[in-house]
A = this chain, B = another copy of it.
């Protein structure tokens, strides 16, 4: 559901020369409207991409993790804010470098085009999830997305570095509903909630089924086992 656009870019860009920056929990990486100076690749940890809203809430657009790129968008300002969720390590590349490459190398510029395109596609998926599914299903989608990108076994222990508040803002609901949705998934024996930041996935197929029944819009991001 989030930017899986890294692979192509990695090849072209000289990331090895990039600086590594370390964040602890809930540090701002950049804010919407900041002048864009760097693009980042997540090396470890999780990032939260969001926009602040007038009502004090925020709309979260994703939680990029290891190997995903953030800050990649046209314009000279960031269009989203980024926050570290837990201890996080980022590799930073000056945009100037990216810009120079893009201006001279059409092929590279096209990679940018593709990367943003897939980001757009991901955002559309999110929009569909929010618009069309109930709270329990949305939670299932969220967990599957995490599980998929974490690339684990069948019985995964998911790490949730984000708070219930963040999850609520991501899925467009309240923390209470998040809590109840998790409880319901628990009752259904699909997951076990372990403390505030660990969730054991017991029945990934069940989740999958809940999340979208028909294959349609839940592409198994990374998960090798797709039963249907």
State the A residues within 8 Å of B (CB): 26, 28, 31-33, 50-59, 61, 73-75, 79, 81, 83, 102-110, 112-114, 116-121, 123-124, 126-128, 130-132, 165, 172, 212-220, 223-227
Contact = CB atoms under 8 A, between A and B. Distances in A.
Contact of A217 (B54, B119, B214): B54
A227 B216 CA distance: 38
Residue of A33, A58, A131 contacting most chain B CB atoms (<10 Å): A131
Nearest to A26: B225
Contact of A120 (B51, B54, B116): B116
A224 B28 contact: yes
B53 A128 contact: yes
B217 A52 contact: yes
Nearest to A102: B110
Contacts of A132: 53, 55, 57, 59, 172
A220 B83 CA distance: 12
A121 B61 CA distance: 11
A106 to B, nearest CB: 4
